[in-house]
């Protein structure tokens, strides 16, 4: 389905192609989604010298455009439309539309339709690989075994399509992925990262993760990930997805909201929880956050520094919380956990929560742990984070000036104690903070 604005612009483009006596074809995900009766806002087209014609059309229509690829024979021009919509015009690959479609990845993406037929809602579809039949069967099927040799990233893309469309992967295609899984190492890290996170942004990917493991692709994607017990890990993964989709079933209150990108990072973090096991507060302060194997893998995948920090801190926090914790933690102990886990606390709690089986028995130990995690989240979000966001009651310069002390570990200790007292509600004003600082400094002098 296309809206009136896109239809009108496509009609203008059709007029230009008619004047130039060339045919353009709607292809790829545009036609696929159109056949599924999904709303289509981005249009993929191909034809002879389509990229150059796209530039001319954009200039004549006062649209902005961006050359996405200038390679002769496969050039692509993106025409930017209002409201975050765009057309991509790519030079046809080969001499006929059938040759072009034969070079595409999956049968459901290897269909074409003349632009004129598309706009007049004609049923004529160019479908040399029976993509429409696979669309009806909800099946991801490669156009040929050679597609994975041409671009090994397509193996991961098969799982991403299966996840986002709720399709299954054809048996022969799965076997071809298994045969070629090691070739994923030839793909640039940033391309893998983009596909992998897009896959994990989808809900209910547990079955596909299991298939990815069976194909050998998962171990090639994340070679440092270790799974001492795959069945147990998969159980945790299923539970993590359920917790992320319905946190209120596991905790007393829903303390947090996460977008699909954050959820994807937490799911990815789970794969690294066994990669780095020697975790400590001291190591946490290093550049690699005390998780060298995780850090290196994410660097190889060209993840951004923020994403790397998020995952490494999540792994660290999960490790800190994996030890035995008393069920009756005081606010002071909760504060210590918040400091220890830092920005990774929420993710760490979720990664630990998924290791526990859910039970409705209020007396069972697992429920007590969930209640403990709920208490920790409540403290972190309602007391710890708000204070960290406020202006400090007393800063380092204030202490140096008022008490004539030099920058030293003593100064850091004073500031830490002031923050603790503020979070715990023991002090609320600058004068109270000064009194506490004076008390601590006198104690230091006496010792």
In a domain, 240, yes or no: no
The enclosing domain of 36 has a CATH number of: 3.30.460.10
Residues 6+ positions from 125 with CB-CB distance below 8 Å:
31, 35, 111, 112, 113, 132
50 plus 168 within the same structural domain: no
> What pLDDT was estimated at residue 398?
86
Task: Tell me which DSSP letter residue 435 carries.
Answer: H
Identify the pLDDT of residue 359.
Answer: 61
Q: How many domains does the chain have?
A: 4
Confidence (pLDDT) at 403: 84
Residue 38 falls inside a structural domain: yes
Cα end-to-end span (Å), the chain: 77
Are 81 and 41 contained in the same domain? yes
* Residues 402 and 382 grouped into a single domain: no
Q: Is there a single domain that holds both residue 281 and residue 312?
A: yes
In angstroms, rounded to a whole number, what is the distance separating the alpha carbons of residues 171 and 139? 10
Please provide the size of the chain in residues: 447
The answer to whether residues 404 and 363 belong to one domain is no
pTM over 0.85: yes
Helix, strand, or coil (residue 81): strand
Where a domain ends, among 119, 137, 155?
Answer: 137
Cα–Cα distance between 147 and 127 in angstroms, integer?
Answer: 17
Sign of torsion, CA 415 420 423 426?
Answer: negative
Say yes or no: 252 and 385 in one domain: yes
**440 shares a domain with 369:** no
Is residue 264 included in any domain, yes or no?
Answer: yes
In the prediction, which pLDDT does 323 show?
A: 80
Domain end (from 137, 171, 193): 137
Per-residue confidence (pLDDT) for residue 230, from 0 to 100:
93
Domain match, 282 and 334 both: yes
Rounded CA-CA distance 269/234 in Å is 14
Residue 103's domain spans which residues? 1-137
| Residue 285 sits in the same domain as residue 368 | yes
* Position 241 in a domain: no
> Considering only CA atoms, which of 303, 231, 320 is closest in space to residue 268?
303
- What is the chain's pLDDT, residue by residue, as a tens digit (447 residues)? 788 889 999 999 999 999 999 999 999 999 999 999 998 889 999 999 999 999 999 999 999 999 998 888 789 999 999 888 999 999 999 999 999 999 999 999 999 999 999 999 888 999 999 999 999 999 999 999 899 999 999 999 999 999 999 999 999 999 999 999 999 999 999 999 999 999 999 999 999 999 999 999 999 999 887 788 999 999 999 999 999 998 888 876 556 788 999 999 999 999 999 898 888 888 888 888 999 999 999 999 999 999 999 999 999 999 999 887 887 889 999 999 999 999 999 999 999 999 987 665 555 566 788 888 989 999 999 999 999 888 888 888 888 888 888 788 888 888 999 999 999 999 999 999 989 988 888 887 766
Q: Which backbone phi and psi does 123 adopt, to 5 degrees?
A: -90, -5
Phi/psi of residue 189, nearest 5 degrees: -55, -40
Judge contact between 274 and 291, C-beta under 8 A. no
Question: How far is CA 150 from its chain centroid?
Answer: 26
Is residue 151 domain-shared with residue 127, that is, in the same domain? no
Task: Kindly state whether residues 70 and 186 are assigned to the same domain.
Answer: no
Helix axes 230-245 and 206-215, enclosed angle (nearest 10): 150
Dig out the tokens for 124 from the structure: 């004529």
Last residue of a domain, one of 137, 155, 186: 137
Q: Concatenated DSSP letters for 324-370?
A: ---SS--HHHHHHHHHHHGGGHHHHHHHHHTTS-----TTSHHHHHH
CA distances from 251 to 50, 58, 368, 372 (A): 55, 53, 11, 9
How would you class 29 by CB atoms within 10 Å of its CB: exposed for 0-12, middle for 13-18, buried for 19 or more?
A: middle
Query: How far is Cα 262 from Cα 247, in angstroms, rounded to an integer?
Result: 14
pLDDT score of 83: 85
Indicate if 1 and 94 belong to the same structural domain.
yes
């Amino acid at each position: 389905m296309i809206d009136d604005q896109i239809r009108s612009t496509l009609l203008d483009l059709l007029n230009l192609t008619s004047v130039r006596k060339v045919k353009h074809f709607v292809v790829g995900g545009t036609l696929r989604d159109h056949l599924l009766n999904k709303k289509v806002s981005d249009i993929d087209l191909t034809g002879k010298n389509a990229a150059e014609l796209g530039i001319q059309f954009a200039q004549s229509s006062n649209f902005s455009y961006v050359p996405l690829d200038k390679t002769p024979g496969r050039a692509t021009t993106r025409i930017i439309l209002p409201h975050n919509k765009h057309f991509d015009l790519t030079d046809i690959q080969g001499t006929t539309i059938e040759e072009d479609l034969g070079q595409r990845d999956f049968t459901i993406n290897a269909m074409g339709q003349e632009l004129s037929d598309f706009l007049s809602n004609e049923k004529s579809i160019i479908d040399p690989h029976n993509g429409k039949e696979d669309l009806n069967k909800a099946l991801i099927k490669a156009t040929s075994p050679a597609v994975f040799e041409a671009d090994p990233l397509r193996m991961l893309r098969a799982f991403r399509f299966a996840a986002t469309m709720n399709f299954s992967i054809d048996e022969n295609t799965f076997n071809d992925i298994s045969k070629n899984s090691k070739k994923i190492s030839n793909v640039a890290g940033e391309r893998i990262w983009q596909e992998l996170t897009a896959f994990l942004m989808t809900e209910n990917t547990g079955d596909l993760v299991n298939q990815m493991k069976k194909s050998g692709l998962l171990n090639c994607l994340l070679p440092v990930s270790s799974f001492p017990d795959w069945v147990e890990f998969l159980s945790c993964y299923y539970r993590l997805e359920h917790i992320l989709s319905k946190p209120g079933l596991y905790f007393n209150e829903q303390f947090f909201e996460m977008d699909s990108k954050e959820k994807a990072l937490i799911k990815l973090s789970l794969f690294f929880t066994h990669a780095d096991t020697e975790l400590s507060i001291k190591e946490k302060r290093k550049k690699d956050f005390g998780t060298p194997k995780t850090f290196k893998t994410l660097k190889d995948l060209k993840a951004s520094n923020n994403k790397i920090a998020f995952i490494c801190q999540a792994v660290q926090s999960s490790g800190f919380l994996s030890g035995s914790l008393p069920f009756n933690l005081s606010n002071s102990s909760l504060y210590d956990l918040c400091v220890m886990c830092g920005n990774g606390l929420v993710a760490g709690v979720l990664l630990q929560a998924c290791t526990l089986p859910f039970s409705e028995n209020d007396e069972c130990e697992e429920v007590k742990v969930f209640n403990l995690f709920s208490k920790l989240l409540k403290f972190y979000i309602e007391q710890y984070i708000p204070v960290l966001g406020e202006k400090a009651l007393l800063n380092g310069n204030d202490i140096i000036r008022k008490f004539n002390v030099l920058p030293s570990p003593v100064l850091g200790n004073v500031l830490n104690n002031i923050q603790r007292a503020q979070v715990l509600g023991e002090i609320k004003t600058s004068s109270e903070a000064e009194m506490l600082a004076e008390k601590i400094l006198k104690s230091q002098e006496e010792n």
